[in-house]
Chains A and B, each alone.
Chain A
Amino acid sequence: MPRKKPEPIQVIKQRRDAALHALAGGVPYIQYLGIQFDRRGDELTAVLPFADQLIGNPMLPAIHGGVTAAFLEVTALISLSWSYLWDDIETGVLEVETLEEGRLPRLPKTIDFTVDYLRSGLPRDAYARARITRSGRRYASVQAEAWQDNRDRPMAQATAHFLMPRPKS
């Protein structure tokens, strides 16, 4: 039997980008902080462009610790949701039209979130990536790290636990 012809790359990219846009673009708080997501295949990098309203210590100046925490939490939650939905995005179980209308399946909920501040956040752009250390049926553990100029000099790291959505029975 002949192998199924692969989908055109534009179709795949459109579907993935629509899903990511629906996931992050529809959340007011993510927009308010100005967080964007860079996608390479299934790998996501969150970007937080610097803005004056993000300052927590005007004397230094430094990014507000709460902003750094929120940035890591958003990165962890979106990355987890992204990996949770990936198969449904790839197989087309989740339709592009549905996603583009902003209709999303239920997403994980944060149970707890721990952030370690390693260096003060400078007044410039920040980046973050998350790693899902375990994704079970009910709970998931995620680690996230944020950095600015140097990837090897993180400004903060976080560990978070999430409650996974119950599948429709």
Chain B
Amino acid sequence: MTADTTETKARIARQFIQTIPHAEALGMEITQIGDGLAVITMPYDERLIGDPETGVVHGGAVSALMDTCGGAAVMSHPKSPAGTATINLRIDYMRGATPGQSITAKAECYHVTRSVAFVRATAYDEDESRPVATATGAFTVEGG
């Protein structure tokens, strides 16, 4: 694949993610995308709190971030022709994200067949040495 198509793919994936109403509602921003790798940041927001006593963000919001980031990674992969949908996603929660800190997910689409794309992802807060959650997922390859 030429550098041009890689860049086009990244641009399309970025545009697509930016038009997702729910990603926008959660304030998600793509900081890196291309070649099957995606990094998306979600700022801390009191509306996302799952435990009012501690202010820790709800696991469901982390799931939404992981799902979006996984989909973006698939779309940016050179062997993935167009759109994608999640087939399944497993998330392991290591710890609660520190209240007040943004959460960043890094997803890697590490294998693509004609029909399925395989993804692994990790979410961090500002302490990159201790992951908040990890995820693995399978996504559809559309239009292949």
Q: Which residues of A contact B (CB under 8 A)?
A: 26-33, 52-58, 64-67, 69-71, 73-74, 102, 109-117, 120
Contacts and interface: CB of A to CB of B under 8 A. Distances in A.
B12 interface: no
A117 B86 contact: yes
Contacts, number: 117
Contact of B67 (A30, A53, A69): A69
B22 A56 contact: yes
Interface in B67-112: 67-68, 71, 83, 85-93
A58 B20 contact: yes
Given A66-B66, A73-B60, 18 more contacts: A27-B50, A29-B57, A32-B48, A33-B60, A56-B23, A56-B68, A57-B20, A58-B20, A64-B20, A66-B64, A66-B65, A69-B91, A73-B59, A113-B90, A114-B88, A115-B89, A116-B87, A117-B86
Given A27-B58, A29-B48, A29-B50, A69 B22 contact: no
Interface residues of B, number: 35
B30 interface: no
Contacts of B89: 65, 69, 114-115
B47 A29 contact: yes
A28 B52 CA distance: 7
A32 B47 contact: yes
B49 A28 contact: yes
A57 to B, nearest CB: 7
Contacts of B91: 69, 112-114
A58 B60 CA distance: 21
Contacts of A120: 85
Contact of B85 (A65, A74, A113): A65
Contacts of B25: 53
Most central of B46, B50, B51 by chain A CB within 10 Å: B50
A26 B22 contact: no
A73 B63 CA distance: 9
A113 B63 contact: yes
B21 interface: yes
A74 B51 CA distance: 12
B19 interface: yes
Contacts of A66: 22, 60, 63-68
